[in-house]
Structure 1
Amino acid sequence: MEIRKYIAIGDSFSEGYGDEIEHGHPRGWTDLLAAQLATAQGHDVEYANLAIRGRKIGAIMREQLEVAISMQPDLITINGGGNDIMRPRVSAEWVSSQLLIAARRVLAAGITPVVVSGANPSGVMPLGRVMQRRGDALANEVRRWANALDVAYIDNWGDARLIDGVYWSEDRLHLNARGHAIVAGNVVRALEVGDGDHWPELASLTTAEGRMDARYWRQFVGPWIGRRLTGRSSGDGRAPKFGAYIPISPRDQAA
Protein backbone atom coordinates (compact mmCIF):
# COMPACT_ATOMS: atom_id res chain seq x y z
CA MET A 1 0.00 0.00 0.00
CA GLU A 2 1.39 3.38 -1.04
CA ILE A 3 0.97 6.00 1.68
CA ARG A 4 1.48 9.58 0.54
CA LYS A 5 -0.88 11.25 3.01
CA TYR A 6 -1.26 10.25 6.67
CA ILE A 7 -3.49 11.75 9.38
CA ALA A 8 -3.66 10.92 13.08
CA ILE A 9 -6.79 11.53 15.17
CA GLY A 10 -7.24 11.02 18.88
CA ASP A 11 -6.30 12.41 22.27
CA SER A 12 -3.03 13.11 24.12
CA PHE A 13 -1.68 9.69 23.16
CA SER A 14 -1.79 10.54 19.44
CA GLU A 15 -0.80 14.16 20.06
CA GLY A 16 2.47 12.88 21.52
CA TYR A 17 2.05 14.19 25.07
CA GLY A 18 4.86 12.98 27.32
CA ASP A 19 7.46 13.06 24.55
CA GLU A 20 8.22 16.76 24.50
CA ILE A 21 11.16 18.04 22.50
CA GLU A 22 12.33 21.61 21.93
CA HIS A 23 10.10 24.37 23.35
CA GLY A 24 7.77 21.78 24.86
CA HIS A 25 6.52 20.61 21.46
CA PRO A 26 5.06 17.08 21.67
CA ARG A 27 6.58 14.57 19.25
CA GLY A 28 5.26 11.07 19.99
CA TRP A 29 4.66 7.90 18.03
CA THR A 30 2.69 9.52 15.20
CA ASP A 31 5.58 11.83 14.28
CA LEU A 32 7.98 8.89 14.37
CA LEU A 33 5.60 6.85 12.21
CA ALA A 34 5.29 9.63 9.63
CA ALA A 35 9.08 9.87 9.39
CA GLN A 36 9.41 6.11 8.96
CA LEU A 37 6.73 6.06 6.25
CA ALA A 38 8.74 8.62 4.30
CA THR A 39 12.01 6.73 4.80
CA ALA A 40 10.62 3.29 3.94
CA GLN A 41 8.93 4.55 0.77
CA GLY A 42 11.72 6.88 -0.31
CA HIS A 43 9.52 9.93 -0.83
CA ASP A 44 7.89 12.75 1.10
CA VAL A 45 4.75 11.99 3.09
CA GLU A 46 2.12 14.61 3.82
CA TYR A 47 1.30 14.37 7.52
CA ALA A 48 -1.40 15.99 9.67
CA ASN A 49 -2.19 15.41 13.34
CA LEU A 50 -5.64 16.52 14.53
CA ALA A 51 -5.37 14.92 17.99
CA ILE A 52 -5.87 17.09 21.08
CA ARG A 53 -5.12 16.13 24.65
CA GLY A 54 -8.04 15.50 26.96
CA ARG A 55 -10.51 14.71 24.18
CA LYS A 56 -13.07 11.99 24.81
CA ILE A 57 -14.29 9.74 22.02
CA GLY A 58 -17.42 11.83 21.34
CA ALA A 59 -15.36 14.95 20.71
CA ILE A 60 -12.93 13.04 18.51
CA MET A 61 -15.85 11.86 16.40
CA ARG A 62 -17.39 15.34 16.18
CA GLU A 63 -14.28 17.46 15.75
CA GLN A 64 -11.69 15.29 14.04
CA LEU A 65 -13.08 12.32 12.14
CA GLU A 66 -14.97 14.03 9.33
CA VAL A 67 -12.26 16.69 8.96
CA ALA A 68 -9.66 13.96 8.55
CA ILE A 69 -11.77 12.12 5.97
CA SER A 70 -12.36 15.34 4.01
CA MET A 71 -8.57 15.80 3.70
CA GLN A 72 -8.47 12.56 1.64
CA PRO A 73 -5.47 10.80 3.17
CA ASP A 74 -4.36 7.28 2.37
CA LEU A 75 -4.09 6.32 6.05
CA ILE A 76 -5.84 7.43 9.23
CA THR A 77 -4.73 6.16 12.63
CA ILE A 78 -7.62 6.18 15.10
CA ASN A 79 -7.17 6.34 18.86
CA GLY A 80 -9.57 7.28 21.62
CA GLY A 81 -11.41 6.12 24.69
CA GLY A 82 -8.70 6.42 27.32
CA ASN A 83 -10.22 9.56 28.78
CA ASP A 84 -13.69 8.01 28.67
CA ILE A 85 -12.91 4.86 30.64
CA MET A 86 -11.47 6.95 33.46
CA ARG A 87 -15.03 8.20 34.08
CA PRO A 88 -17.16 6.03 36.37
CA ARG A 89 -20.31 5.72 34.24
CA VAL A 90 -18.93 5.01 30.78
CA SER A 91 -19.07 1.47 29.38
CA ALA A 92 -16.32 -0.13 27.35
CA GLU A 93 -18.98 -1.41 24.95
CA TRP A 94 -20.14 2.12 24.13
CA VAL A 95 -16.60 3.40 23.59
CA SER A 96 -15.88 0.40 21.36
CA SER A 97 -19.04 1.08 19.35
CA GLN A 98 -17.84 4.62 18.61
CA LEU A 99 -14.44 3.38 17.47
CA LEU A 100 -16.23 0.88 15.23
CA ILE A 101 -18.32 3.66 13.68
CA ALA A 102 -15.14 5.65 13.04
CA ALA A 103 -13.39 2.69 11.40
CA ARG A 104 -16.40 2.01 9.18
CA ARG A 105 -16.62 5.65 8.11
CA VAL A 106 -12.95 5.65 7.15
CA LEU A 107 -13.34 2.40 5.21
CA ALA A 108 -16.42 3.71 3.40
CA ALA A 109 -14.38 6.69 2.24
CA GLY A 110 -11.81 4.37 0.65
CA ILE A 111 -9.17 5.19 3.26
CA THR A 112 -7.17 2.66 5.29
CA PRO A 113 -7.95 2.83 9.02
CA VAL A 114 -5.56 1.60 11.70
CA VAL A 115 -6.98 1.49 15.23
CA VAL A 116 -4.26 2.08 17.81
CA SER A 117 -4.89 1.36 21.48
CA GLY A 118 -3.26 3.29 24.28
CA ALA A 119 -0.79 1.51 26.55
CA ASN A 120 -1.73 0.11 29.96
CA PRO A 121 -0.84 2.48 32.85
CA SER A 122 -2.47 0.36 35.56
CA GLY A 123 0.83 -0.78 37.00
CA VAL A 124 2.07 2.75 37.70
CA MET A 125 -1.05 4.87 38.33
CA PRO A 126 -3.37 5.27 41.33
CA LEU A 127 -6.44 2.98 41.28
CA GLY A 128 -4.69 0.84 38.71
CA ARG A 129 -6.96 -2.18 39.19
CA VAL A 130 -10.00 -0.19 38.09
CA MET A 131 -8.19 1.02 34.97
CA GLN A 132 -6.97 -2.50 34.25
CA ARG A 133 -10.50 -3.91 34.34
CA ARG A 134 -11.97 -1.23 32.11
CA GLY A 135 -9.06 -1.23 29.69
CA ASP A 136 -9.17 -5.01 29.34
CA ALA A 137 -12.88 -4.84 28.55
CA LEU A 138 -12.33 -2.15 25.89
CA ALA A 139 -9.42 -4.00 24.30
CA ASN A 140 -11.43 -7.22 24.12
CA GLU A 141 -14.36 -5.46 22.46
CA VAL A 142 -12.18 -3.75 19.85
CA ARG A 143 -10.20 -6.90 19.07
CA ARG A 144 -13.44 -8.73 18.32
CA TRP A 145 -14.80 -6.35 15.69
CA ALA A 146 -11.38 -5.42 14.26
CA ASN A 147 -10.78 -9.08 13.44
CA ALA A 148 -14.24 -9.40 11.90
CA LEU A 149 -13.74 -6.27 9.77
CA ASP A 150 -10.13 -7.13 8.91
CA VAL A 151 -9.04 -3.74 10.28
CA ALA A 152 -5.54 -3.48 11.71
CA TYR A 153 -5.63 -3.15 15.51
CA ILE A 154 -2.40 -2.21 17.26
CA ASP A 155 -2.75 -3.70 20.73
CA ASN A 156 -0.42 -1.56 22.82
CA TRP A 157 -2.65 -2.26 25.82
CA GLY A 158 -1.49 -5.86 25.72
CA ASP A 159 2.20 -5.04 25.16
CA ALA A 160 3.86 -6.34 28.35
CA ARG A 161 6.90 -4.12 27.84
CA LEU A 162 4.84 -0.98 28.38
CA ILE A 163 3.81 -1.93 31.91
CA ASP A 164 7.28 -0.93 33.14
CA GLY A 165 7.52 2.54 34.71
CA VAL A 166 10.63 3.32 32.67
CA TYR A 167 8.33 3.95 29.69
CA TRP A 168 5.95 6.34 31.46
CA SER A 169 6.10 10.05 32.25
CA GLU A 170 6.15 11.37 35.76
CA ASP A 171 2.40 11.96 35.68
CA ARG A 172 1.89 8.17 35.30
CA LEU A 173 -0.80 8.65 32.65
CA HIS A 174 1.26 9.36 29.53
CA LEU A 175 4.10 7.50 27.86
CA ASN A 176 7.50 9.17 27.71
CA ALA A 177 9.81 9.23 24.69
CA ARG A 178 10.89 5.62 25.14
CA GLY A 179 7.29 4.47 25.42
CA HIS A 180 6.23 6.38 22.32
CA ALA A 181 9.11 4.78 20.40
CA ILE A 182 7.82 1.31 21.30
CA VAL A 183 4.31 2.23 20.10
CA ALA A 184 5.72 3.61 16.84
CA GLY A 185 7.58 0.35 16.36
CA ASN A 186 4.40 -1.64 16.88
CA VAL A 187 2.60 0.34 14.19
CA VAL A 188 5.57 0.21 11.81
CA ARG A 189 5.67 -3.58 12.01
CA ALA A 190 1.92 -3.88 11.48
CA LEU A 191 2.14 -1.73 8.34
CA GLU A 192 5.24 -3.61 7.20
CA VAL A 193 7.27 -0.46 6.63
CA GLY A 194 10.22 -1.46 8.80
CA ASP A 195 11.21 -3.65 11.70
CA GLY A 196 10.28 -1.03 14.29
CA ASP A 197 13.56 -1.40 16.15
CA HIS A 198 15.73 1.12 14.34
CA TRP A 199 15.26 4.11 16.65
CA PRO A 200 18.03 4.76 19.13
CA GLU A 201 17.12 4.69 22.81
CA LEU A 202 15.31 8.03 23.04
CA ALA A 203 16.13 10.20 26.02
CA SER A 204 13.19 10.75 28.38
CA LEU A 205 13.00 13.70 30.74
CA THR A 206 11.00 11.84 33.38
CA THR A 207 9.86 8.32 34.20
CA ALA A 208 7.33 6.76 36.57
CA GLU A 209 9.94 4.69 38.36
CA GLY A 210 9.76 6.58 41.67
CA ARG A 211 7.11 6.27 44.34
CA MET A 212 3.88 8.26 44.45
CA ASP A 213 4.73 10.82 47.13
CA ALA A 214 2.92 13.94 48.32
CA ARG A 215 4.45 16.03 45.54
CA TYR A 216 3.03 13.67 42.91
CA TRP A 217 -0.49 13.89 44.33
CA ARG A 218 -0.23 17.67 44.61
CA GLN A 219 1.25 18.27 41.15
CA PHE A 220 -0.72 15.77 39.08
CA VAL A 221 -3.68 14.16 40.84
CA GLY A 222 -5.05 17.30 42.48
CA PRO A 223 -5.26 19.32 39.24
CA TRP A 224 -6.79 16.33 37.42
CA ILE A 225 -9.54 16.03 40.05
CA GLY A 226 -10.09 19.78 39.88
CA ARG A 227 -10.68 19.66 36.14
CA ARG A 228 -13.15 16.79 36.53
CA LEU A 229 -15.13 18.64 39.19
CA THR A 230 -15.35 21.82 37.11
CA GLY A 231 -15.92 20.20 33.72
CA ARG A 232 -12.65 21.47 32.29
CA SER A 233 -10.12 19.65 30.13
CA SER A 234 -6.37 19.91 29.65
CA GLY A 235 -7.12 20.44 25.96
CA ASP A 236 -9.47 23.39 26.37
CA GLY A 237 -8.53 26.12 23.90
CA ARG A 238 -5.88 24.03 22.16
CA ALA A 239 -5.66 23.70 18.40
CA PRO A 240 -4.45 20.53 16.67
CA LYS A 241 -0.69 20.07 16.53
CA PHE A 242 -0.69 19.93 12.72
CA GLY A 243 -4.13 20.97 11.51
CA ALA A 244 -2.96 21.03 7.89
CA TYR A 245 -0.58 18.77 6.04
CA ILE A 246 3.13 19.26 6.55
CA PRO A 247 5.74 17.52 4.38
CA ILE A 248 7.87 14.83 6.05
CA SER A 249 10.92 13.76 4.05
CA PRO A 250 13.07 10.65 4.36
CA ARG A 251 15.81 12.71 5.98
CA ASP A 252 13.46 13.45 8.91
CA GLN A 253 13.86 9.90 10.23
CA ALA A 254 15.40 11.06 13.52
CA ALA A 255 12.26 13.22 14.04
Structure 2
Amino acid sequence: MSKRLVVMGDSFTEGVGDDDPAYPNGVRGWADRVAEQLAAHDPDLRYANLAVRGKLMGQVLAEQLEPALDMRPDLVTLYAGGNDLMRPSVDIDALMDDYDKAIGRLIESGATVVVFTGVDGVEDALFRKMRGRVAIYNEHTRVIAARRGALVVDMWAMRQLRDRRMWAPDRLHLNALGHTEVAIAVLDVLGATHELVGTDLGPRATLSPRERRQQNLQWSREHAWPWVRRRLRGESSGDHIMPKRPVLSPVGQSG
Protein backbone atom coordinates (compact mmCIF):
# COMPACT_ATOMS: atom_id res chain seq x y z
CA MET A 1 0.00 0.00 0.00
CA SER A 2 1.08 3.57 -0.54
CA LYS A 3 3.41 5.22 1.92
CA ARG A 4 2.81 8.88 0.99
CA LEU A 5 -0.72 10.15 0.44
CA VAL A 6 -1.29 13.75 -0.67
CA VAL A 7 -4.76 15.17 -1.31
CA MET A 8 -5.44 18.39 -3.21
CA GLY A 9 -8.49 20.52 -3.80
CA ASP A 10 -11.08 22.79 -2.21
CA SER A 11 -13.68 22.50 0.57
CA PHE A 12 -14.79 19.07 -0.63
CA THR A 13 -11.37 17.58 0.14
CA GLU A 14 -10.66 19.78 3.17
CA GLY A 15 -13.76 18.22 4.75
CA VAL A 16 -16.06 21.22 5.12
CA GLY A 17 -19.56 20.23 6.23
CA ASP A 18 -18.25 17.43 8.47
CA ASP A 19 -17.59 19.52 11.58
CA ASP A 20 -15.34 17.94 14.18
CA PRO A 21 -13.25 20.09 16.58
CA ALA A 22 -10.86 17.18 17.16
CA TYR A 23 -9.48 17.63 13.61
CA PRO A 24 -7.37 20.43 12.10
CA ASN A 25 -9.47 23.37 10.80
CA GLY A 26 -12.37 21.91 12.80
CA VAL A 27 -13.41 19.52 10.01
CA ARG A 28 -12.86 15.84 9.29
CA GLY A 29 -14.10 14.76 5.86
CA TRP A 30 -13.68 11.85 3.47
CA ALA A 31 -9.93 12.28 2.97
CA ASP A 32 -9.17 11.94 6.67
CA ARG A 33 -11.34 8.84 6.78
CA VAL A 34 -9.50 7.36 3.80
CA ALA A 35 -6.12 8.09 5.39
CA GLU A 36 -7.22 6.53 8.68
CA GLN A 37 -8.37 3.35 6.95
CA LEU A 38 -5.19 3.08 4.87
CA ALA A 39 -3.02 3.70 7.94
CA ALA A 40 -4.81 0.95 9.85
CA HIS A 41 -3.28 -1.50 7.36
CA ASP A 42 -0.05 0.44 6.74
CA PRO A 43 1.29 2.16 9.88
CA ASP A 44 4.10 3.73 7.82
CA LEU A 45 1.62 5.84 5.82
CA ARG A 46 2.27 9.58 5.80
CA TYR A 47 -0.57 11.93 4.88
CA ALA A 48 -0.81 15.56 3.75
CA ASN A 49 -4.02 17.48 3.01
CA LEU A 50 -3.36 20.67 1.02
CA ALA A 51 -7.01 21.44 0.21
CA VAL A 52 -8.46 24.84 1.12
CA ARG A 53 -12.13 25.83 0.97
CA GLY A 54 -13.29 28.36 -1.61
CA LYS A 55 -10.43 27.82 -4.05
CA LEU A 56 -10.97 27.98 -7.80
CA MET A 57 -9.22 25.42 -9.98
CA GLY A 58 -6.52 27.87 -11.03
CA GLN A 59 -5.74 28.59 -7.39
CA VAL A 60 -5.69 24.91 -6.45
CA LEU A 61 -3.23 24.12 -9.23
CA ALA A 62 -1.06 27.22 -8.66
CA GLU A 63 -0.85 26.78 -4.89
CA GLN A 64 -0.93 23.03 -4.38
CA LEU A 65 0.56 21.23 -7.40
CA GLU A 66 4.23 22.02 -6.82
CA PRO A 67 4.10 21.35 -3.05
CA ALA A 68 2.35 18.05 -3.79
CA LEU A 69 4.98 17.02 -6.34
CA ASP A 70 7.77 18.01 -3.94
CA MET A 71 6.44 15.43 -1.47
CA ARG A 72 6.97 12.63 -4.04
CA PRO A 73 3.63 11.01 -3.24
CA ASP A 74 2.70 7.43 -4.04
CA LEU A 75 -0.99 8.31 -4.06
CA VAL A 76 -2.67 11.64 -4.93
CA THR A 77 -6.31 12.63 -4.99
CA LEU A 78 -7.33 15.75 -6.91
CA TYR A 79 -10.71 17.40 -7.19
CA ALA A 80 -11.04 21.02 -8.31
CA GLY A 81 -13.42 23.06 -10.41
CA GLY A 82 -16.62 22.91 -8.39
CA ASN A 83 -16.34 26.57 -7.40
CA ASP A 84 -15.62 27.51 -11.02
CA LEU A 85 -18.74 25.72 -12.24
CA MET A 86 -20.90 27.91 -10.00
CA ARG A 87 -19.85 30.90 -12.11
CA PRO A 88 -21.97 31.27 -15.28
CA SER A 89 -19.06 32.67 -17.31
CA VAL A 90 -16.77 29.68 -16.76
CA ASP A 91 -14.84 28.37 -19.79
CA ILE A 92 -15.01 24.67 -19.03
CA ASP A 93 -12.82 23.60 -21.96
CA ALA A 94 -9.98 25.91 -20.92
CA LEU A 95 -10.43 24.89 -17.30
CA MET A 96 -10.08 21.21 -18.17
CA ASP A 97 -7.02 21.80 -20.35
CA ASP A 98 -5.22 23.02 -17.23
CA TYR A 99 -6.61 20.11 -15.22
CA ASP A 100 -5.37 17.67 -17.85
CA LYS A 101 -1.83 19.09 -17.69
CA ALA A 102 -1.77 18.93 -13.90
CA ILE A 103 -3.01 15.34 -13.83
CA GLY A 104 -0.42 14.48 -16.46
CA ARG A 105 2.39 15.86 -14.28
CA LEU A 106 1.15 13.91 -11.26
CA ILE A 107 0.93 10.68 -13.28
CA GLU A 108 4.40 11.28 -14.76
CA SER A 109 5.79 11.61 -11.23
CA GLY A 110 4.90 7.96 -10.67
CA ALA A 111 1.94 8.54 -8.36
CA THR A 112 -1.38 6.77 -8.53
CA VAL A 113 -3.90 9.56 -9.13
CA VAL A 114 -7.57 9.55 -8.15
CA VAL A 115 -9.98 12.12 -9.64
CA PHE A 116 -13.72 12.65 -9.21
CA THR A 117 -16.79 13.44 -11.25
CA GLY A 118 -19.23 15.97 -9.86
CA VAL A 119 -22.43 15.00 -8.06
CA ASP A 120 -25.71 14.97 -9.98
CA GLY A 121 -27.82 17.79 -8.51
CA VAL A 122 -30.98 16.82 -10.38
CA GLU A 123 -33.13 16.77 -7.23
CA ASP A 124 -32.13 20.25 -6.02
CA ALA A 125 -33.72 23.24 -7.77
CA LEU A 126 -30.56 25.37 -7.51
CA PHE A 127 -28.04 22.78 -8.62
CA ARG A 128 -30.27 21.39 -11.34
CA LYS A 129 -29.48 24.60 -13.23
CA MET A 130 -25.76 23.66 -13.14
CA ARG A 131 -26.39 20.10 -14.30
CA GLY A 132 -25.26 20.67 -17.88
CA ARG A 133 -22.00 22.29 -16.80
CA VAL A 134 -21.29 19.48 -14.36
CA ALA A 135 -21.99 16.87 -17.05
CA ILE A 136 -19.48 18.52 -19.41
CA TYR A 137 -16.93 18.67 -16.59
CA ASN A 138 -17.53 14.99 -15.89
CA GLU A 139 -17.03 13.93 -19.51
CA HIS A 140 -13.75 15.85 -19.66
CA THR A 141 -12.70 14.17 -16.40
CA ARG A 142 -13.47 10.68 -17.71
CA VAL A 143 -11.59 11.29 -20.98
CA ILE A 144 -8.56 12.73 -19.17
CA ALA A 145 -8.50 9.86 -16.70
CA ALA A 146 -8.74 7.25 -19.45
CA ARG A 147 -5.94 8.87 -21.44
CA ARG A 148 -3.66 9.55 -18.47
CA GLY A 149 -4.31 6.37 -16.52
CA ALA A 150 -5.97 7.97 -13.48
CA LEU A 151 -8.63 6.31 -11.35
CA VAL A 152 -12.12 7.83 -11.24
CA VAL A 153 -14.54 8.06 -8.32
CA ASP A 154 -17.86 8.52 -10.13
CA MET A 155 -19.91 10.63 -7.73
CA TRP A 156 -22.43 11.34 -10.52
CA ALA A 157 -23.42 7.66 -10.27
CA MET A 158 -23.72 7.71 -6.47
CA ARG A 159 -27.49 8.04 -6.20
CA GLN A 160 -27.32 8.21 -2.40
CA LEU A 161 -25.64 11.61 -2.67
CA ARG A 162 -28.83 13.03 -4.21
CA ASP A 163 -30.44 12.72 -0.77
CA ARG A 164 -30.31 16.07 1.05
CA ARG A 165 -29.83 14.18 4.32
CA MET A 166 -26.26 13.49 3.14
CA TRP A 167 -25.59 17.24 2.99
CA ALA A 168 -24.80 19.97 5.50
CA PRO A 169 -27.40 22.73 6.07
CA ASP A 170 -25.66 24.96 3.50
CA ARG A 171 -26.53 22.39 0.75
CA LEU A 172 -23.06 22.99 -0.72
CA HIS A 173 -21.05 20.56 1.38
CA LEU A 174 -21.50 16.96 2.41
CA ASN A 175 -22.10 16.17 6.09
CA ALA A 176 -20.47 13.29 7.98
CA LEU A 177 -22.77 10.75 6.30
CA GLY A 178 -21.97 12.06 2.82
CA HIS A 179 -18.24 12.24 3.47
CA THR A 180 -18.33 8.63 4.69
CA GLU A 181 -20.00 7.55 1.43
CA VAL A 182 -17.26 9.27 -0.59
CA ALA A 183 -14.54 7.70 1.58
CA ILE A 184 -16.02 4.25 0.91
CA ALA A 185 -16.08 4.96 -2.83
CA VAL A 186 -12.43 6.10 -2.84
CA LEU A 187 -11.26 3.06 -0.89
CA ASP A 188 -13.25 0.74 -3.16
CA VAL A 189 -11.71 2.33 -6.29
CA LEU A 190 -8.28 1.76 -4.74
CA GLY A 191 -9.17 -1.85 -3.92
CA ALA A 192 -8.24 -1.16 -0.30
CA THR A 193 -9.50 -3.13 2.68
CA HIS A 194 -11.59 -1.00 5.02
CA GLU A 195 -14.17 -1.14 7.79
CA LEU A 196 -16.38 1.77 6.73
CA VAL A 197 -20.08 1.10 6.29
CA GLY A 198 -22.60 3.32 4.52
CA THR A 199 -25.84 4.47 6.08
CA ASP A 200 -29.29 3.39 4.93
CA LEU A 201 -31.43 6.40 5.74
CA GLY A 202 -34.69 4.82 4.65
CA PRO A 203 -37.49 6.69 2.88
CA ARG A 204 -37.37 10.46 2.81
CA ALA A 205 -40.09 12.51 4.47
CA THR A 206 -42.56 14.11 2.09
CA LEU A 207 -42.69 17.89 2.52
CA SER A 208 -45.65 20.05 1.69
CA PRO A 209 -45.07 22.97 -0.69
CA ARG A 210 -45.34 25.32 2.31
CA GLU A 211 -42.70 23.40 4.29
CA ARG A 212 -40.43 23.35 1.26
CA ARG A 213 -40.77 27.12 0.80
CA GLN A 214 -39.99 27.70 4.47
CA GLN A 215 -36.86 25.56 4.25
CA ASN A 216 -35.72 27.34 1.09
CA LEU A 217 -36.27 30.78 2.65
CA GLN A 218 -34.29 29.80 5.73
CA TRP A 219 -31.48 28.44 3.57
CA SER A 220 -31.42 31.65 1.51
CA ARG A 221 -31.12 33.81 4.63
CA GLU A 222 -28.52 31.71 6.40
CA HIS A 223 -26.36 30.47 3.54
CA ALA A 224 -27.15 31.76 0.04
CA TRP A 225 -27.10 35.49 0.72
CA PRO A 226 -23.88 35.41 2.79
CA TRP A 227 -22.25 33.55 -0.13
CA VAL A 228 -23.52 36.17 -2.60
CA ARG A 229 -22.25 39.01 -0.39
CA ARG A 230 -18.79 37.44 -0.24
CA ARG A 231 -18.77 37.13 -4.02
CA LEU A 232 -19.75 40.79 -4.43
CA ARG A 233 -16.94 41.83 -2.09
CA GLY A 234 -14.46 39.63 -3.91
CA GLU A 235 -13.94 37.53 -0.80
CA SER A 236 -13.54 33.77 -0.41
CA SER A 237 -14.36 31.49 2.51
CA GLY A 238 -10.74 30.32 2.32
CA ASP A 239 -9.03 33.71 2.36
CA HIS A 240 -7.67 33.23 5.89
CA ILE A 241 -7.60 29.42 5.99
CA MET A 242 -4.41 27.39 5.86
CA PRO A 243 -4.16 23.77 4.67
CA LYS A 244 -5.11 21.46 7.53
CA ARG A 245 -2.13 19.13 6.99
CA PRO A 246 0.49 21.06 4.98
CA VAL A 247 3.27 18.50 5.41
CA LEU A 248 3.45 14.72 5.31
CA SER A 249 2.99 13.28 8.78
CA PRO A 250 1.65 10.14 10.44
CA VAL A 251 -2.12 9.99 10.24
CA GLY A 252 -2.58 10.47 13.97
CA GLN A 253 -0.65 13.76 13.80
CA SER A 254 -1.67 17.01 12.07
CA GLY A 255 1.82 17.99 10.91
Task: Name the TM-score, length of structure 1 as normaliser.
Answer: 0.87
Change (3 A) 1:77 1:232: same
Q: Secondary structure at the match of 1:213?
A: helix
Q: d(CA) in 1 for partners of 2:196 and 2:223?
A: 33
Give aligned pairs, total: 241
Equivalent residues of 2:116, 2:153 under 8 A apart: yes
Q: d(CA) in 2 for partners of 1:101 and 1:122?
A: 30
Equivalent residues of 1:10, 1:55 under 8 A apart: yes
Q: d(CA) in 2 for partners of 1:215 and 1:65?
A: 38
* Residue matched to 2:167: 168
Q: d(CA) in 1 for partners of 2:233 and 2:141?
A: 31
> What are the within-5 Å matches in structure 2 for residues 94-133 of structure 1?
94-124=94-124, 126-133=125-132
Per-residue deviation, 1:127: 2.4
Root mean square deviation, CA, Å:
2.2
Q: d(CA) in 1 for partners of 2:247 and 2:96?
A: 28
Per-residue deviation, 1:201: 4.8
Per-residue deviation, 1:161: 1.3
Q: d(CA) in 2 for partners of 1:122 and 1:64?
A: 31
* Residue matched to 1:206: none
Task: Name the TM-score, length of structure 2 as normaliser.
Answer: 0.87
1:38 aligns with 2:9: no
* Residue matched to 1:242: 245
Equivalent residues of 2:7, 2:31 under 8 A apart: yes
Per-residue deviation, 1:173: 0.6
Per-residue deviation, 1:55: 0.2
Q: d(CA) in 2 for partners of 1:219 and 1:150?
A: 42
Q: d(CA) in 2 for partners of 1:47 and 1:160?
A: 29
* Residue matched to 2:60: 60
* Residue matched to 1:180: 179
Equivalent residues of 1:95, 1:138 under 8 A apart: no
Q: d(CA) in 2 for partners of 1:97 and 1:46?
A: 30
* Residue matched to 1:148: 147
More displaced 10-residue stretch of structure 1: 24-33 or 50-59: 24-33
Q: Secondary structure at the match of 1:114?
A: strand
1:217 aligns with 2:220: yes
Change (3 A) 1:129 1:201: closer
Q: d(CA) in 1 for partners of 2:163 and 2:195?
A: 18
Q: d(CA) in 1 for partners of 2:225 and 2:55?
A: 19
* Residue matched to 1:9: 8
> What are the within-5 Å matches in structure 2 for residues 69-80 of structure 1?
69-80=69-80
The one-letter code of the counterpart of 1:166 is R
Encode CA deviations 1:157-185: one digit per residue, 9 max, x unaligned.
23111111111111011001000001011
The one-letter code of the counterpart of 2:85 is I
1:198 aligns with 2:196: yes
Encode CA deviations 1:127-160: one digit per residue, 9 max, x unaligned.
2222111111100111122112221111112311
More displaced 10-residue stretch of structure 1: 81-90 or 109-118: 109-118
Q: d(CA) in 2 for partners of 1:40 and 1:34?
A: 10
Q: Secondary structure at the match of 1:83?
A: helix
Q: What percentage of residue pairs aligned between the two structures are identical?
A: 37
Q: d(CA) in 1 for partners of 2:118 and 2:173?
A: 9
Structure 1 runs of 4+ aligned residues shifted over 6 Å read none
One of 230, 234, 250 as aligned partner of 2:233: 230
Equivalent residues of 2:170, 2:219 under 8 A apart: yes
